[in-house]
Chain A
Amino acid sequence: MESNNKSSRRKFLDKGLKLGIVTAISGIGLSKIASKLNAKPDGDSHDKMELMTTDGTLIQVDSSEVMEMEHSSGHDKKYNVREGLPNRKFVMVVDLAKCKNALSCQSACNKHHYITGDNAWVKIYKMQESKDTAPYWMPTTCQHCDQPACVTVCPVDATFKRRDGLVLIDNTRCIGCRFCMAACPYSTRVFNWSEPDQGEITLNMDMEQHGHMASSPDHGGVPSVKGTVDKCDFCPHAVDNGELPHCVTACPNGVFYFGNKYEDTVTNGDETLRLGKLLEDKAGYRLLESLGTEPSVYYLPPTDRLVDFEDGLENFTEFQSVEKPE
């Protein structure tokens, strides 16, 4: 009984002490808040400023409450490789009706990105859905998905999605696990299985031309790095200079249209069209839409074709996409 009494007394004291502390703290807090609420402008009451809030109403504020702030230095203009070019959303439209497997897009891309492996970034597939449907040629680039499966699975943030829609790779960070390649349903990613032999001369020339020494994600990772992943980058280095991606300019048939979705325009170099209208008129679609990857590349179906499918067959090589120097 004795000990029970003691322990309950101890509990009471303990609880009382805690309660006291809480009361004291909240008391101080309340008095502070109260003093703020009832704050009378001490000093000169004429010293008021008129300010406009973001929703357009005018308010009066005591000038002593107003502080000067430093301007944030052009945060919407400064280029950040992981943020992308401001106020743009790059899209591509591929008109399958015009493609006849000329392969100019592929060779231009191979040349400008010094692709030395066996797998090109731009592929032209010989497609035929079923025996009775018409065959057609289908160029593919990276689809720059808005819900990119590759970015989701990357364990180190080496591949990333930018605000301007591009999915790029930082090949100085990539650990070479190839999970992104497994995740990509479009098989667009290629791997540097060995030391990429891009040739010293071409490499140096390239660096002078573009004024950078190390690989950069917005330059297609050129120079490529052994044991890392590469893929089509939508040529932001060219876009930055006001040029179109290499595949777009190289195509003799004007298959590729490139543009900014926010401006609703795409161009293939010869003609500039309204993106929305083009997609509506020609029933544009995206590859494997059902997967929900939300690609940035639209396709126009191969209807009313201007070229014969057979014309492309002479260029078709089943087992080669990169021309190797002898």
Chain B
Amino acid sequence: MKTKEQIINDLTPRKFNKLGVAWTTLLIIVIIAGIIAYIDQLIKGQIVTNMRDYALWGIYISNFVFFVATSFVGTVIVAFLRLTHKEWRTPLVRIAEVISLACIIMAGITIMIDMARPDRLLNLFIHARLQSPITWDVIIIPTYIVLSFLLLYFPLIPDLAILKNYYKKTKPKLSKWYGTFSLNWTGSTAQKAIQSKSIKIIAYLIIPVGFILQTVDAWLFSTTYRIGWSSTNMGAYFISGAFVAGVGALIAVVYIIRKSYKLEDYITDMHFDKMGRLLVLACLIYLYFNINEYLIPAFTASVEEEAHLNLLFFGQYAPLFWFVIIGGLIIPIVVLMFKKGRKPLPMFIIAILVVLGSWWKRYIIVTPTLLHPFLPIQGVPESWHHYFPSIHEWLITGATLAMALLIITLLFRYLPIIPIQRTTDEHKLLRTNKITES
């Protein structure tokens, strides 16, 4: 059993090692490349993308949907597991909260990248119309950003106070910053009562808000007449998809962090086992909605719908479609069913597969539908019949993904990855239990 000092020593933020510096530099380079591409897009217009009048939304939108989906992990892991008192969540919650916050911030930025007139952003408030799903997004995304931030911040306060004391002598400047953000935390009973009550309120609030967020995202598509979008299945389908994407991203990030910060004592195989079970559950639910979305409509498909399904099952998009279904859902389910599959390394590989599958899944949802309007595509250049992202789109999208990773990396440079206070409390609890038992 570790002492409190040991735990604090283990869990305080550490400086980047060489690999960390290289990783951060790489991210910054990718981001700079993306910013240059975006400035070019601002100057020349969206002609630099491969979107045109038919494929009018591309990877900006699918990437936005991916970010929104991944941000759901905050709701799933943190709120659900907290409210159901699952103790094994302790070393994972902060990672989940940080992923959630980074992703929802990037979702907000990504949707603005897709706007051809970002200079008119304020029109969304000045001339807002409540019946447009975009307005719902404008309302719900900032709400979720605030809630995600608070869900990260409130449990962090005691840890910030610990860090303030820890760095008092060695780094007085840093200590001062931690002191400011710890809001004079002393750990008194009154403070603890307020804190736990606040966390509980936020945890309760974020569940409906998280559900609304995912559903609004689905309604962005299902409120149109498009084949493949206008489906009553959409809301539940998106929520379950977000469950998969979020847990997948969490496992991948947890594995990398555990490895690079050597946290094997805190994040054990048991935690991976639990997350693996959660991912199987998520994938099974998502598979169910996928069957509802693709297989059952095939029986009564109208001509247009049949063309759409053919395109996905056997046509141009078939390789991607089957990669997403098999690689992103079926293989994870099969592998994670076995205990050996829920060991850290195989889980990491599966998680990467799931995240990739989730990203391309959104692409499969957005693009093929747009290339199948009701009236035939005629009288436009041949290239408008297809869509594949341009260099600009890849650079900008890459930059948004890098930015999310950079936010996660930087936050963990300065924040304890694993809640220190909670861990010491739990260790103490374990020890007293042992004493009473013996």
Residues in chain A near residue B376, CB distance under 8 A: 125-127
Q: Which of B53, B120, B126, B382 has the largest count of A CB atoms less than 10 A from its CB?
A: B53
Give the interface SS of chain A, mostly helix, strand, loop or mixed. loop
Q: Which residue of A lies closest to B131 (CB)?
A: A152
B124 touches A156 (CB 8 A): yes
Residue from B49, B114, B120, B374 in contact with A288 in the complex, judged by beta carbons closer than 8 Å: B374
Interface size (A, Cβ < 8 Å)? 50
Residues in chain B near residue A177, CB distance under 8 A: 114-116, 134
Tell me the bound Cα distance from A49 to B378 in angstroms: 70
- Cβ of A189 < 8 Å from any Cβ of B? yes
For chain B, the bracket of interface size reads: 35 or more
Report if A182-B226 is in contact (Cβ < 8 Å); known contacts: A155-B129, A175-B117, A228-B116: yes
Which of A32-40, A66-74, A313-321 lies on the face that meets chain B?
A313-321
Residue from A119, A140, A182, A226 in contact with B370 in the complex, judged by beta carbons closer than 8 Å: A182
Tell me the bound Cα distance from A219 to B42 in angstroms: 27
Residues in chain A near residue B380, CB distance under 8 A: 118-119, 319-321
Q: Which residues of B102-157 have CB atoms within 8 Å of chain A's CB atoms?
A: 114-117, 120-121, 123-124, 126-129, 131-135, 138
Tell me the bound Cα distance from A310 to B370 in angstroms: 31
Tell me the bound Cα distance from A19 to B202 in angstroms: 40
- Cβ of B57 < 8 Å from any Cβ of A? yes
- Cβ of B44 < 8 Å from any Cβ of A? yes
Residues in chain A near residue B135, CB distance under 8 A: 155
- Interface contacts (Cβ under 8 Å), in number, total 150
Tell me the bound Cα distance from A155 to B46 in angstroms: 20
Residue from B44, B56, B115 in contact with A191 in the complex, judged by beta carbons closer than 8 Å: B56
B219 to chain A: closest CB distance in Å? 10
Residue from A119, A155, A194 in contact with B44 in the complex, judged by beta carbons closer than 8 Å: A194
- Cβ of A203 < 8 Å from any Cβ of B? no
A228 touches B124 (CB 8 A): no
Q: Which residue of B lies closest to A124 (CB)?
A: B379
- Cβ of A262 < 8 Å from any Cβ of B? no
Tell me the bound Cα distance from A317 to B370 in angstroms: 22
- Cβ of B381 < 8 Å from any Cβ of A? yes
Tell me the bound Cα distance from A125 to B131 in angstroms: 33
Residues in chain A near residue B268, CB distance under 8 A: none
Tell me the bound Cα distance from A293 to B224 in angstroms: 12
Q: Which residue of A lies closest to B138 (CB)?
A: A155
Tell me the bound Cα distance from A249 to B225 in angstroms: 33
Residues in chain A near residue B56, CB distance under 8 A: 178, 181-182, 191
Residues in chain A near residue B54, CB distance under 8 A: 187
- Cβ of B398 < 8 Å from any Cβ of A? no
Residue from A126, A175, A183, A190 in contact with B223 in the complex, judged by beta carbons closer than 8 Å: A183
Using CB atoms and an 8 Å cutoff, list the residues of chain B in contact with chain A: 44-47, 49, 51-54, 56-57, 114-117, 120-121, 123-124, 126-129, 131-135, 138, 220, 223-226, 370, 373-382, 384
6 smallest CB-CB distances across A and B, nearest first, come from A176-B116, A227-B116, A321-B379, A194-B47, A155-B134, A155-B132
Provide 13 A-B residue pairs closer than 8 Å at the C-beta atoms, listed in order of the A residue. Answer: A118-B381, A152-B131, A154-B129, A175-B123, A176-B120, A179-B134, A187-B53, A191-B46, A191-B52, A191-B116, A195-B45, A317-B379, A320-B379
Using CB atoms and an 8 Å cutoff, list the residues of chain A in contact with chain B: 117-120, 123-127, 140, 149, 152-158, 173-179, 181-183, 185-187, 189-195, 226-228, 287-288, 291, 293, 317-321
